[in-house]
Homo-oligomer: A and B are copies of this chain.
Amino acid sequence: MEIKVLHQVLEWNQDVSAEVRRTLAENKVCLINVMGSPGAGKTSLLAALIARLRGQFRIGVIEGDITGQSDAEKIAALHIPAVQLNTDGACHIEAMSIRNILPQFDLAALDVLFVENIGNLVCPAEFDIGENFRLTVLSIPEGDDKVAKYPLMFTDTDCLVLSKCDMLPYFDFDTARVTADYRAVNPEGPQFQTSGRTGAGMDALAAHLAGRIRAALA
């Protein structure tokens, strides 16, 4: 399948997030901004969520990467509309790029648009891309000190997913420490533990997201 690849043009002085949000609201599409480090398991998480949500919602995906299109190919193989956004070196996605890429989708035929942001635990958290809500993925191998060391990504999120939880036996990872650090910066934020390999926790996360998507589209 041919993947459309768009390139991000940085327009630092213009924040069009409000315009993106208005366009999506008019078309009744819920935008979910998925963020986390390189290799946190964002693409695998999306595939698992798509399998559980596609019976309830019509889903599209924007795959953000600095270069290449391997992630968009994985999503397109699921027969889900996917467009690759290449930032050509830039460390985050901006609302301008979302605005430019929306015409690639038939918004009338979508309920949910996932954006997989650039793998980066720092910069993407600083940019409003017009999303309805944010999901931050932290994988067990990254270590239990990451909420304390990269606080903005966990403060400005609507949901924390601890991924690769099948790896807990092999790493010195204190989930209680992560929960306490997360609570300190984000007292109301929900938290889930998942494993892409075993599927553990995916049903609960999908049910939670379904509720939020319905609320956003209501």
Given A120-B121, A121-B120, the answer on whether A70 and B145 have CB atoms closer than 8 Å is yes
Interface presence of A141 (CB below 8 A): yes
Interface size on A, residues (CB 8 A): 31
Chain A contact residues: over half helix, strand or loop, or mixed? Answer: loop
Contact A141 B91 (CB under 8 A): no
Q: How many chain copies?
A: 2
Contact B38 A148 (CB under 8 A): no
Contact A149 B66 (CB under 8 A): yes
Given A39-B142, A123-B123, the answer on whether A148 and B70 have CB atoms closer than 8 Å is yes
Contact B143 A39 (CB under 8 A): yes
Closest to A140 in B: B141
CB neighbours (8 Å) of A142 from chain B are 37-39, 141
Q: Which of A11-44 touch B at CB < 8 Å?
A: 37-39
Q: How far is the CA of A19 from the CA of B39 in the complex (A)?
A: 36
Interface presence of A183 (CB below 8 A): no
CB neighbours (8 Å) of A164 from chain B are 141
Q: How far is the CA of A73 from the CA of B166 in the complex (A)?
A: 30
Interface presence of A49 (CB below 8 A): no
Q: Which of A76-130 touch B at CB < 8 Å?
A: 89, 91, 118-123, 126
**What per-residue 1/0 map shows which CB atoms of A203-218 lie under 8 Å from chain B?**
0000000000000000
A118 interface neighbour in B70, B122, B145, B170, Cβ under 8 Å = B122
Interface presence of A132 (CB below 8 A): no
Contact B121 A151 (CB under 8 A): no
Closest to A141 in B: B141
CB neighbours (8 Å) of A65 from chain B are 149
4 more CB-based (< 8 A) A-B contacts, given A66-B149, A70-B148: A37-B119, A37-B142, A66-B152, A67-B148
Report the 7 A-B pairs with minimum CB-CB distance, sorted nearest first. A39-B142, A141-B141, A91-B122, A39-B143, A38-B121, A91-B123, A37-B38
